Amino acid sequence: MITVTLSYPGGEQEEILLAVVPRKGELIRTDNGPGTAPLIVEYVMHMEGRGVPPSPKVVIGVRPRAEGPPT
């Protein structure tokens, strides 16, 4: 599992565990309860970590997927 930081519009962030790092445009679902809309990945940013040894950090920009049929 990989710990990633989800970055939502408006600046809110949340750390979650994922099996793989998603790619831009993919949908992910968090375990925030039933009826939660999937999130679409806007960007994936890999950053150098701090500490000894340095651990890399992954930040994923997401937004809720718009409801309704795809256009």
On the CB side of 1, CA atoms within 13 Å amount to 5
Per-residue pLDDT of the chain (71 residues; tens, 9 = 90+): 888 999 999 999 999 999 899 999 999 988 765 667 889 999 999 988 777 777 778 999 999 887 555 54
pLDDT at 47 (0 to 100): 83
pLDDT at 35 (0 to 100): 65
How far, in Å, CA of 58 to CA of 24, rounded? 13
